[in-house]
Amino acid sequence: MKETFDTLYEEGAETPRLMNVGLHCRIAGQPGRANGLDRFIAYAQSRPNVWFAGRSDIARTWQQQFP
């Protein structure tokens, strides 16, 4: 995920990018994987201009910007 994030973050300097992370509760909820997800989130949040949004947040923002 970090490699994907880094690539999209660099590309996003010119044009906004979206990274979607799909998680399955039985797989991502295992201790080692959950810890890795926590580390990735902290890594991504440490960069400026990164927005963590749910589907409804994205839809609402889209509707506001493109009525």
pLDDT tens across the length of the chain (67 residues): 999 999 999 999 999 899 999 888 888 888 888 889 999 999 999 999 999 999 899 999 989 998 8
Please count the structural domains in the chain. 1
- From CA 21, how far away is CA 1, in angstroms rounded? 8
pTM greater than 0.75? yes
State the SS3 of 18-40: CCCCCCCHHHHCCHHHHHHHHHH
Domain that holds residue 42: 2-65
